[in-house]
């Protein structure tokens, strides 16, 4: 099929590459000419395992191309996906200006007799589909189109496998013709397809991300009780997770959730529920627990080191989770900045995130020392903090780590290491919710 994807960010680019990989012809549109130039030159603006190969292969096979022209994309495609950002506003509600603009732009290029399915893939509040429909109609009276909601559930770091092998595909549609076309798009993925009305599809995305955030805050609250009682949150999570109704996924206690989705989507769902007159108070607690995780962690560090000012602290991990270079809304970055604000001397290492943290001005390289290896980070450190659970941290020479540290104190913010092993190696080892 001929598909167009407007917005070549995370969701747009990975979706475009995966749609091309299964045989569709895809044109990715972006209004950032530099990004289009880079993509045309084979440069991938984000680090995502498997993505670069996928893009190169499908560009070479002429199934994937990039342009800055919406008209070009819409002209050549039966189905037009919108995958532009929906950032949060100061009050937590969703800024829909990019979606509105793209809807107007699509209206401006739709030609008479040219039926198109306009699919919203961005995460949007319930009832956005209605607004997109109204907007296209207002700016193009004779337009022949249907609007569909098709939320994307990919995770960063495993976006390609998530997209190629989804748990489910949600198609929110009020038109049989549009639903049939969407089923054709997804047929090669062999995934379960759930067809709903548009409002339900939009709500599914916010409800799913909020539920996963709730699971994380729940286990983090349990971790606090474990700390107060001497129980081990890892064992508790295993024990409750073995109940199939609960499941073990997203029950990893730690520093809390970050990234560009969970914090934003929980806030948005709280705002949406208020706007609809049905405030979702439970989610306010989910957020409160998450925002308190760093205070607890730094508080425990202060309990040991007493004063953080002038202390040499090593931090392993900067990205919001492993296997990505994404440092936006990363709890690890916030941790580093809070330590720096208290006057600590922080040396940090991350396999992929350091460059972007500086480029996006999330870290000040004159205040944080960024080093090229984990071992470099621990020289003279009075504490090592693990903030992101990259697998490579498991394979370090811990005798060397200990030898280089000033005092062998480890605070594991992601419960990555085995407490017994670390203590046998001679570390004063502290985890989250574990004795
Ligand atoms: C999430 C959703 O999983 C995905 O379906 C949606 O499309 C986008 O938002 P993503 O933000 O890429 O994906 O990462 P995810 O793996 O879900 O992790 C989010 C955050 O939760 C990370 O900061 C991670 O460290 C944290 N987390 C996750 C925990 O603290 N504990 C867990 O058990 C799982």
Tokens at 251, concatenated: 């029950």
What pLDDT does 47 receive?
87
Sheet arrangement for strand 169-173? 64-67, 25-29, 2-6, 79-82, 116-120, 145-149, 169-173, 193-196
342 burial type by CB count under 10 A (0-12 exposed, 13-18 middle, 19+ buried):
middle
Can you tell me the mean pLDDT for 227-256? 98
Q: Mean pLDDT, to the nearest integer, of 154-160?
A: 93
Summarize pLDDT for 311-339 with one digit per residue, the tens. Answer: 999 999 999 999 999 999 999 999 999 99
Mean pLDDT of all residues in 169-177: 98
Residue whose Cα lies nearest atom 9 of ligand 1: it is: 261
Give the CA distances from residue 372 to residues 119, 354, 357, 378, 400, in Å, rounded to whole numbers and listed in that order: 43, 9, 14, 12, 16
Q: Report the C-alpha gap between 106 and 376 in whole angstroms.
A: 52
pTM flag (> 0.85): yes
261 is annotated as an active-site residue? yes
Q: What is the reported pLDDT for 382?
A: 98
Q: How far is the CA of 26 from the centre of ligand 1 (A)?
A: 28
Backbone angles phi, psi at 64, to 5 degrees: -140, 130
Q: Are strands 428-430 and 409-412 parallel, antiparallel or unpaired?
A: parallel
Tokens 């700016």 correspond to 139
Enumerate helices (H) and strands (E) in the chain, giving the number of each.
17, 14
Cα–ligand 1 centroid distance for 263 (angstroms): 10
pLDDT tens track for 260-312: 999 999 999 999 999 999 999 999 999 999 999 999 999 999 999 999 999 99
Q: Please report the domains of the chain, with CATH numbers, ordered by start residue.
A: 2-196 (3.40.50.720), 211-430 (3.40.50.720)
- Residue of the CA atom closest to atom 3 of ligand 1: 155
Nearest CA to ligand 1 atom 19: 257
Q: What is the mean pLDDT of residues 193-200?
A: 98
Q: Which atom of ligand 1 has the smallest separation from the CA of 153?
A: 7
Q: What atom of ligand 1 comes closest to residue 216's alpha carbon?
A: 31
Edge-to-edge order in the sheet of strand 409-412: 368-370, 345-349, 312-316, 383-386, 409-412, 428-430
**Given the residues 4, 18, 226, 261, the one annotated as active site:** 261
Mean pLDDT of 423-434: 98
Q: pLDDT (tens digit, 9 = 90+) per residue, 225-236?
A: 999 999 999 999
Other Cβ atoms less than 10 A from the Cβ of 323: the count is 20
382 alpha carbon – ligand 1 mean position (Å): 30
How many whole angstroms from 155 Cα to the centroid of ligand 1? 7
Q: Give the model confidence (pLDDT) of 391-400 as tens digits.
A: 999 999 999 9
Assigned token pair, 78 = 């039966």
Q: What is the mean pLDDT of residues 406-433?
A: 98
């Amino acid at each position: 099929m001929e598909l167009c994807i407007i917005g070549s960010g995370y969701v747009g680019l990975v979706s475009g590459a995966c749609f091309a990989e299964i045989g569709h012809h895809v044109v990715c549109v972006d209004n950032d000419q530099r990004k289009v130039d880079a993509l045309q030159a084979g440069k991938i603006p984000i680090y995502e395992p498997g993505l670069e190969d996928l893009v190169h292969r499908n560009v070479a096979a002429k199934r994937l191309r990039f342009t800055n022209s919406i008209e070009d994309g819409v002209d050549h495609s039966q189905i037009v996906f919108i995958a532009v950002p929906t950032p949060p506003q100061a009050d937590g509600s969703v800024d829909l200006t990019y979606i509105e603009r793209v809807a107007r732009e699509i209206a401006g290029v739709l030609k008479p007799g040219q039926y198109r399915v306009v699919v919203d893939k961005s995460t949007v509040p319930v009832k956005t589909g209605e607004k997109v429909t109204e907007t296209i109609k207002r700016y193009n009276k004779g337009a022949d189109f249907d609007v569909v909601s098709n939320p994307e559930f990919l995770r960063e770091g495993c976006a390609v496998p998530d997209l190629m092998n989804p748990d489910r595909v949600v198609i929110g549609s009020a038109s049989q013709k549009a639903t049939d076309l969407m089923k054709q798009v997804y047929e090669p993925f062999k995934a379960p397809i759930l067809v709903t009305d548009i409002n339900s599809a939009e709500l599914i995305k916010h409800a799913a991300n909020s539920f996963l955030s709730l699971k994380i805050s729940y286990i983090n609250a349990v971790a606090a009780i474990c700390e107060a009682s001497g129980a081990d949150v890892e064992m508790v999570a295993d024990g409750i997770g073995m109940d199939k109704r609960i499941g073990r996924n997203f029950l990893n206690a730690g520093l809390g959730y970050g990234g560009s989705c969970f914090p934003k989507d929980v806030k948005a769902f709280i705002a949406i529920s208020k706007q609809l007159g049905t405030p979702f108070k439970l989610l306010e607690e989910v957020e409160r627990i998450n925002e308190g995780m760093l205070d607890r962690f730094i508080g425990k560090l202060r309990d040991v080191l007493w004063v953080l000012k002038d202390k040499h602290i090593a931090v392993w991990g900067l990205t919001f989770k492993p296997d990505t270079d994404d440092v936006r809304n990363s709890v690890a970055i916030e941790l580093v900045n809070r330590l720096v604000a208290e006057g600590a001397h922080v040396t940090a290492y991350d396999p992929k995130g350091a460059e972007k943290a500086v480029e996006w001005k999330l870290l000040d390289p004159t205040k944080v020392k960024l080093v090229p290896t984990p071992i470099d980070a621990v020289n003279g450190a009075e504490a090592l903090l693990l903030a992101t659970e990259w697998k490579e941290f498991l394979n370090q020479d811990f005798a060397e780590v200990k030898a280089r540290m000033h005092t062998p104190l480890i605070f594991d913010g992601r419960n990555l290491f085995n407490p017994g092993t670390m203590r046998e190696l001679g570390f004063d080892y502290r985890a989250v919710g574990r004795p």
